[in-house]
Amino acid sequence: MFKYPISSLITVLLTWAAVAIPSIFDASRNMISPAEYLLHGCVLVLTLLVINESTRYGYKTRYYLLFLLFTSIAYLMFLVPLSIVLIYSVMYCSILAFYAPIRFCYVYIFASHGLFLIVHTFYWQTGWQWASAGMFMAFHLFALVMTQRMISERNAKEELALTNAKLEATQHLLSNAAAQSERLRIARDLHDEVGHSLTSLIINLDVTRRTCMPTQLTQLQACYEQAKQALATTRAIVSDKRNDIGFDLVQSLTQLSKQTPRVKVHLKISPKVKHVQLSTAQCLLKCVQEAITNTLKHAPTATDMDITLQEQNGNLELFIKDNGLLKGEVVLGNGLTGMQERVAQIKGQLDIDTSKQGLSLTIRVPYE
């Protein structure tokens, strides 16, 4: 139920200890309120719940937790007359950058420091703490900038890795298309040139063996049978070349799934699915690529993706599902709209399911 990167867990615990221990064991204070112990504990628990990478609860719950965490930090300002409480706010700002737009984070920084100045001036009667407020505002801005840079670098690395995977899959698609084109050319040449020449030879041999001398009949009959066998072999080769035309979708999907960054792709392909028409394979491959892109871009908490391809009642069924958390209602942007258009072009159907946790896509296309 709880899943944390070791570095994040250690950072949170050390930061919490750096604030809670000096605050609780401050010798200059005569009495520590029980509410202060409770709020320090709430800050730790709420922070751990927010940064939890498990998908047991969604964004709506996390936003509630963030609000409660902010309320706890704000309330501590009325219980602890130390500016060290703002270290909690620095940690909160770093976490908020993953859930809110950058402008909202800047608004939070100015609002929290405004609250800090007002509380210390009018509640604690310590005057305007401009120096402390300015110092901790610099810490907030530094934490926010570094967090944003980390997010940008992570997104750039994921985009580069995914682009490389897409390029390799597309290269495999083009090489397969070129090989199919070459097989078709060879099949046509064999049929049009060699096949016609052998047919003409058989006709001439047939006429000759019917009008030849009895002493030459045996040799002409052998040549006639050899020519018929050669024609049958040529026709078999032509048929085999044409029937072998199809795209090896399994290899491309396997290659793409192995090179997908951050998200672990679980690929399941039915043994019944072998060669697929080039147009169908191209459509399904592009849909999988777009689904992976959407997951990496819009579901930062996603860690696993299931991709299942099977043959069902004369159709190919492609099922895609991730375990990411939906931030809200799914809007048909350019990616999903493009997927619908691609599927419709080959007389298929795309179903989008958001009733469960994560996003599920089901694609059905004719399997010929």
Confidence at residue 273, expressed as pLDDT on a 0 to 100 scale: 83
Q: Which helix (H) or strand (E) holds 305?
A: strand 304-312
Structure confidence at residue 251 as a pLDDT band (50, 70, 90): confident
**Residue 71: what pLDDT?**
95
- Residues 315, 326 contacting (CB under 8 angstroms): no
Confidence (pLDDT) at 17: 93
Q: Is the pLDDT of residue 88 over 70?
A: yes
pLDDT confidence of residue 337: 87
Q: Which residue has the tokens 């922070």?
A: 47
pLDDT band for position 93 (cuts 50, 70, 90): very high
Range 341-351 average pLDDT:
91
Q: What does the block give as tokens for 76?
A: 């501590």
Is it the case that residue 198 has pLDDT exceeding 70? no
Q: CA 280 to CA 305: how far, in whole Å?
A: 22
Q: What is the mean pLDDT of residues 37-60?
A: 88
Residue 250: predicted pLDDT: 81
Distance between CA atoms of residues 288 and 338, nearest Å: 12
Pair of tokens at residue 146: 């570094």
Asked if pLDDT for residue 39 goes beyond 90, the answer is: yes
What is the pLDDT at residue 237? Answer: 64
Residue 140, pLDDT score: 95
Q: What is the pLDDT of residue 271?
A: 85
Q: What is the mean pLDDT of residues 332-355?
A: 85
SS3 4: coil
Average pLDDT over residues 204-226: 69
What whole-number distance in Å separates Cα of residue 154 and Cα of residue 165? 17
pLDDT digits (tens, 9 = 90+) for 120-131: 999 999 899 999
Average pLDDT over residues 274-301: 84
Q: pLDDT digits over 260-271, tens only?
A: 888 889 999 988
